[in-house]
Structure 1
Amino acid sequence: MKLKTILILISLILGFAGVKAQSSKELMRKKEALQREIELARKNLDKTTSGKKLTLSQINALKAQIRLRQEKIAVINSEIKNIDSKINENTGKVRDLQLRLSDLKKEYAGMIRFAQRNKNAYDKMMFVFAAKDFNQAYKRIKYLQQFGQYRKKQAAYIQGTQKDLNNQIVVLDKDLKNKSNLLKEQETEKGKLDKNKNEQSVVLNQLTKQEKQYKQDITKRKQQQDAISRQIKIAIDREIAAARKKAEEEERIAAAKAKAENKPAPATTPGKPKTNSDVLRATPEAARLSEAFEANKGSLPAPVANGYITAHYGAYKVDQASGKNDGVTYQTSEDAAARAVFKGKVTTVTPLQGRYIVIISHGEYFTVYYNLKSVSVSKGAEVSTKQTIGIVAMNEGVPELGFQIQRGSVPQNPESWLAR
């Protein structure tokens, strides 16, 4: 029972170590991804600051850089906590191994002293012949043999423990070095964050000098966004109306066929209008696609391979202007490809203000991609996950992509659907 308990404890410890190692790798990957986003934000910020006029894209890029830097510092803090936990654990292991080694050496020293006192072959023979009977003499011979073997095993065990101790000390030294490097990285990032905040203060001071121009830009951006939102609503409403008409026509045909064959009409609820969800899931294929899309909530890929969100979903207020964003805005790299976040069918490709909007149907759901300078898909085309659908256009000197997810005609928060 004791052995079973020990084995269970060892398996739990190993499992816990595996989880911690995985957690450290996840943190490392997250930190590297944040660093790539920070570098991209810095690059985009450099593009916008090359001009004399302050732009909303410049302010968004600066805010994004500060937010990403803060997230990276938080990840470094988590890494340091992980390292501290490992250092405490490995320090305990070193201490236990040192105590075990000390006890083993004491025990071995006692065995050596005993062996020295009884090393004479004559003494060993006398020890055997002094037995009261043959059975006891045999046991004494076996004892002497086993004692010699045990000494050898103890010596090997001491060497193994010493090796384990040396290895554990190496691991502990590595952990301490990693912590030192993380602390230095943390200080560097804090310095860069302070620099970013100083840049933000400069920009805000500049904003007061260009307030009139800036407000005009915000108003213009809001008008553009309203025009895009109207166009998206028209396109999605048109798809819903077409799906409703198709469903009603199929019901009419089914009822006429049943009547001609003297069969009961298909079960429907008289006078009850079908919801958007009903008509968009009317076919088995559409229902399956909707369910597959829902099943991937929280794990959909981003609509750009590299980029960061600068405008979030929901109500916002910029200076004195306020509004509501039905999606998110990504800043990305120049000539970046926009990609489908899930398989589906292209229902809309429409130009607006010199740019393109692409809408893809996923059963009951629609994904919307706008501010594309060119498109590589056409209406009716079937697309796969991560397939390129167009190239992102520049907006105030920065490549920006607008992205929405709608359930029927109801906007969803894309950030709850996309994988980080």
Structure 2
Amino acid sequence: MSAAQSCKSILLLGAWLFAGLTWGQTSSQDKASLQQERDRITAQLKTTENLLTKARQNRADASSQVGLLDKQIELREKLVRHHEASIRSLERSMRGTDSELRTLEGHVAALKDEYVRMVQQAYRMKLGENPLLFVFAAEDFNQAALRFRLLQSYSEVRKQQIAQIEAAQTELGEVRVDLAEERGEVQAALNRQTQERDALRKDRSTRANLVSELRAEESRLRAAQKEQERERQRLSDEIKRIIEAELEAERASAAGEFALTPAGKIVSEAFEKNQRNLPWPVMRGVVTQGFGRQPHPTLSGITIDNNGVDITTGAGNRVLSIFEGTVSSRFDLPGAGTSVIVTHGGYRTVYTNLRDCPVQKGQSVDRGTFLGHVRGEADTNAILHFEVWKVAGVERTPVDPRKWLTAR
């Protein structure tokens, strides 16, 4: 075999190893991304399960159990879909690894064949018996020099081929180990998927039984719902009135026009740019009632209009400001505890159902400033009502808070 052919083999092996490395890096990135997503869903599911356990201890909290079960079912469905995506990714990775394995086995076989042919050619030329005799048997000096360079080339090519075979065989062993590990990961993912599907069926059955029990108390629940709706409307009206009063005061101080100050514009733009990046107002909790108009989870014919989100969490948990700003209002409302409104330029955030609130109107706050505890009896679940309003220009609009909060 010529030196040129040997160089070609080395280049081919290098290209194969680079392709395998690139595939491995992409596969590792996919696995890391899927693992991160699974950890996020699992953590939220764990929080929901803990809240549901507390809710079950209070029979009067049956309606909130339905909301938590709905959230748990939603998370389990996400986890099942995640497992399906993981299995597809692992199967793709297995196919790629299997293809690498077959390619590498063929390459090792080709390298060995080339090596055998080279040794046979060297034997025919008697290079292996006594290399110096092969040089000294030359007819003249030029031929001797040519034979000497041939011997050097032969020795180098032989070393390169041995190194190629050793490297390829090592890589072959590693790929076989990778393939065995991937097969094990696929089986583990299939087992997790089966477990989650079983748990999902159980959750759906539990929800159906709970709804059936609640139907027997429908008249009481409808009366309770009407009272809750009156409280919600009273809170909504009060928040709107206070925000409008704040804006009216700003207009009065600006000769009848509402306009953001330069500092207000900076804060407003920063808040706008932080969509999906802001922390939640509580460390642990799940959204049990989303933003906007939605059907009641158990009572037919009833819709709920929510200007924010209701986050179920543990009573007494700390409530924190999600962004820097200024406390523009703080007020109490019967049945809703203390509410705090924080101004962020052209935006307002509203935190309702607090106790032990240390902040005062006009106080500057940062991201993570303590605003109070979630109001409720010890060792029970409680709800933080959280809203985001856009009030720039002529707008006076509540917007979905989840557009600003990090994914959970």
State the TM-score bracket (shorter-chain normalisation): 0.7 to 0.9
Aligned 8 A contact 2:62 2:210 in 1: no
CA displacement, residues 223-248 of structure 1 (integer Å, 9 cap, x when unaligned): 12111111211111111111111111
Corresponding residue for residue 329 of structure 2: 348
Query: Residue 179 of structure 1 is aligned with which of 186, 195, 216?
Result: 186
- Amino acid aligned to 1:367: T
Corresponding residue for residue 228 of structure 2: 221
CA distance in 2, matches of 1:181, 1:172: 14
CA displacement, residues 285-321 of structure 1 (integer Å, 9 cap, x when unaligned): 0111111111112222222222221111111121232
The answer to whether residue 311 in structure 2 is matched with residue 311 in structure 1 is no
CA displacement, residues 230-272 of structure 1 (integer Å, 9 cap, x when unaligned): 12111111111111111117xxxxxxxxxxxxxxxxxxxxxxx
Corresponding residue for residue 94 of structure 1: 101
1:129 positional shift: 5.0
Paired residue secondary structure (2:338) = strand
Between stretches 185-194 and 409-418, larger displacement belongs to: 409-418
Query: Residue 58 of structure 1 is aligned with which of 52, 61, 65?
Result: 65
Unaligned stretches of 5+ in structure 1? 250-273
1:17 positional shift: 5.2
* 1:20-419 equivalent positions in 2, closer than 5 A: 20-53=27-60, 55-117=62-124, 118=126, 121=129, 124=131, 127-128=134-135, 131-248=138-255, 274=257, 279-281=258-260, 283-318=261-296, 319=299, 320-354=301-335, 355-394=337-376, 397-408=380-391, 409-419=396-406
- Amino acid aligned to 1:404: E
Change beyond 3 A, Cα 1:383–1:162: same
1:346 positional shift: 0.8
CA distance in 1, matches of 2:83, 2:315: 30
CA distance in 1, matches of 2:205, 2:82: 23
CA distance in 2, matches of 1:46, 1:129: 93
TM-score by length of 2: 0.87
1:333 positional shift: 3.0
- Amino acid aligned to 2:314: S
1:132 positional shift: 4.7
CA displacement, residues 201-228 of structure 1 (integer Å, 9 cap, x when unaligned): 1111102211112212222221121111
- Amino acid aligned to 1:390: G
CA distance in 2, matches of 1:5, 1:121: 32
Aligned 8 A contact 1:240 1:280 in 2: no
Unaligned stretches of 5+ in structure 2? 1-7
CA displacement, residues 126-146 of structure 1 (integer Å, 9 cap, x when unaligned): 644554532122111221232
Aligned 8 A contact 1:57 1:398 in 2: no
TM-score by length of 1: 0.85
Instruction: Report how many aligned residue pairs link the two structures.
Output: 389
CA distance in 1, matches of 2:64, 2:211: 14
Aligned 8 A contact 2:307 2:398 in 1: yes
- Amino acid aligned to 2:215: T
Q: Percent identity, aligned pairs only?
A: 27
Change beyond 3 A, Cα 1:60–1:129: same
Between stretches 110-119 and 341-350, larger displacement belongs to: 110-119
1:53 positional shift: 3.4
Change beyond 3 A, Cα 1:149–1:88: same
Paired residue secondary structure (1:378) = coil
- Amino acid aligned to 1:144: L
Corresponding residue for residue 268 of structure 1: none
1:19 positional shift: 5.1
Change beyond 3 A, Cα 1:334–1:115: farther
Aligned 8 A contact 1:218 1:321 in 2: no
Paired residue secondary structure (2:255) = helix
Change beyond 3 A, Cα 1:10–1:280: farther
- Amino acid aligned to 2:280: A
Aligned 8 A contact 2:20 2:100 in 1: no
- Amino acid aligned to 1:166: G
Paired residue secondary structure (1:394) = coil
